Amino acid sequence: MTSILTSLSTTKSFGGWIKRYKHHSTSLKCDMVFAIYLPPQAETRTVPVLWWLSGLTCTDENFMQKAGAQRMAAALGIAIVCPDTSPRGLNLPGEHDSYDFGSGAGFYVNATQAPWAEHYRMYDYLTSELPELIKTHFPVNGRESISGHSMGGHGALVLALRQPGRFASVSAFAPIANPSQCPWGQKAFTGYLGDDRSTWQQYDSCALIANSTSTQELFIDQGDADEFLAPQLGADALRAACAQSGQPLIYRTRTGYDHGYFFIASFIDEHLQYHASHLYPAIASD
Q: At 99, is the secondary structure helix, strand, or coil?
A: coil
User: How far from each other are the two terminal CA atoms of the chain, in whole angstroms?
Assistant: 36
Helix (H) or strand (E) holding 9: strand 6-13
Catalytic machinery residues: 150, 226, 259
Nearest Cα neighbor of 109 from 97, 99, 122, 94 is 122
Q: Which residues contact 84 (CB under 8 A, 6 or more apart)?
A: 32, 33, 34, 54, 59, 60
What single-letter DSSP state applies at residue 62?
Answer: H
Nearest Cα neighbor of 151 from 62, 65, 47 is 62
- Determine the distance from the C-alpha atom of residue 269 to the mean position of all C-alpha atoms in its chain, rounded to a whole number: 17
